[in-house]
A = this chain, B = another copy of it.
C-alpha cells in the first residue's frame, strides 16, 4: 500500500488530540507529527531560535521558508500512514491565517483533510476548564465562526490538492464514536 498523509485539524478545544490518541491506541503502522514542532526543529537547525515564539517572530518570508522545509521533511520521512497534526486556520490578531497555504499543501499532498468539530458550547466549556493553556476567549459565537471558516478553507485545500475532506463530529461523551471514525479512515486496523 502507498504512503498516505492525513492532515488532522480542529479548533483548540475541539478534542482533536483526545480523538487522535484514542484512535492511535487501536491503530498500528501510523505515525504522527506535529507540524509546528517540525517547523521548530527546522528553525533550530538553522539557528533561528529554540521555541515557537522565536519562530513566530521571524519575518514572514523566513517563516514561509521554514514551512516549506517542514513540509518537505514530513513528506520525505513519510512511510505508511502519517498523520500531520496541524490547523486549518490559526486565529491571529491580523485575522485567520491558513495552516496549509498552497506552498505547504502542494508538498504535503495529503489524501484527506480531517476536521474534528464539536459544538461551540462544548468547546467553550472545555476552554474555560482548561486554564493551563492560555486559550482564546472567543465565546461561542467566535468558536462557531472559526469552525465555519475552517470548513470553508478545508474545501479550498481540497479543490487545490484533490484531498477529501472528512468532518468528524466529536460529541460530548461520544469519544469512542469519533475515534472510531478516524480509525476507519486509517484503514480500520
Contacts and interface: CB of A to CB of B under 8 A. Distances in A.
Interface of A: 2, 59-60, 64, 89, 92-98, 100-103, 105, 111-114, 145, 148-149, 151-153, 155-167, 184-185
Given A101-B159, A102-B162, A148-B151, 4 more contacts: A60-B111, A149-B165, A152-B156, A153-B156
Contact of A152 (B96, B155, B161, B166): B155
Contacts of A165: 89, 95-96, 149
B155 A149 contact: yes
Contacts of A166: 94-96
A105 B185 CA distance: 27
A149 to B, nearest CB: 6
A160 B100 CA distance: 9
Contacts of A92: 164
The 8 closest A-B pairs by CB, nearest first: A95-B166, A95-B164, A156-B156, A101-B162, A156-B159, A153-B155, A152-B155, A152-B152
